[in-house]
Amino acid sequence: MKNRTLQLAGLLALLAVLGKFYAPPLLAQVRAALVQDRDEPARNFYQSSNFCSTPTSGFCIVDFPAVPANKRLIVQHVSAIMTMPAQNTITSVDLRQKSGSIGSFFAPIAAPANAAGSAYYSINEGVLNSFDTGAIPEFIVFTSSSATFTTVVTLSGYMIDLP
């Protein structure tokens, strides 16, 4: 009986020593596995496309969906193609918040080959714009022409949770 008591005491001492040196790293690994980056761009990817075709108004407004509650939209890239009635008719292109401040201005690039009776312009730009809860991103193309033209726009980026 005395032998078994000594063996049990030795085993408990060994477990205490092992627990002292190996428990903190093991607990740190468990804690690290439970942590997530909720605002990582890949987890909350955002991409939306929309278009407008305007009848002789001098501008084309492309509105995107409003930013959901408790979110912030970070726009990182804008791609657009504009089909204009003639060359050199775009006066301004910008991305802004609807009924709000202007965010980014763009310089459209004319396509090298224009099709019969139309001129194509494109934008493919990296940007950094943010839109808070309820904001409506708006892409506007202004032109000096009074003819009908078309714009197709894609915004991409990610959403983050607001605290």
For residue 7, is pLDDT > 90? no
pLDDT in tens, 71-123: 999 999 999 998 887 788 888 888 988 887 767 777 777 665 566 677 888 88
Do 93 and 154 reside in the same domain of the chain? yes
Parent domain of 26: 1-35
- Is the pLDDT at 39 greater than 70? The verdict is no
Same domain, 67 and 112: yes
Q: How many CB atoms lie within 10 A of CB 139?
A: 26
- Taking Cα atoms as reference points, which of 123, 119, 68 lies closest to residue 92? 123
Percent of the chain exceeding pLDDT 70 equals: 72
Give yes or no: residues 6 and 63 share one domain: no
pLDDT of residue 105: 77
Task: Give the pLDDT band of residue 133 (cuts 50, 70, 90).
Answer: very high
Q: What is the pLDDT of residue 144?
A: 84
Question: Are the C-beta atoms of 48 and 65 separated by less than 8 Å?
Answer: yes
Residue 40 lies in a domain: no
- In the predicted model, what is the mean pLDDT of residues 27-31? 57
Highest mean pLDDT among 29-38, 58-67, 95-104: 58-67
Same domain flag for 27 and 56? no
The stretch 19-39 carries a mean pLDDT of: 61
Residue 126 and residue 52 share a domain: yes
**2 and 69 belong to one structural domain:** no
Q: 157 and 136 in one domain?
A: yes
31 to 18, 19, 21, 37, 103: CA distances (angstroms): 20, 17, 17, 14, 40
- Residue 137 near residue 32 (C-beta atoms within 8 A): no
Same domain, yes or no, for 27 and 92? no
CATH code, 142: 2.60.120
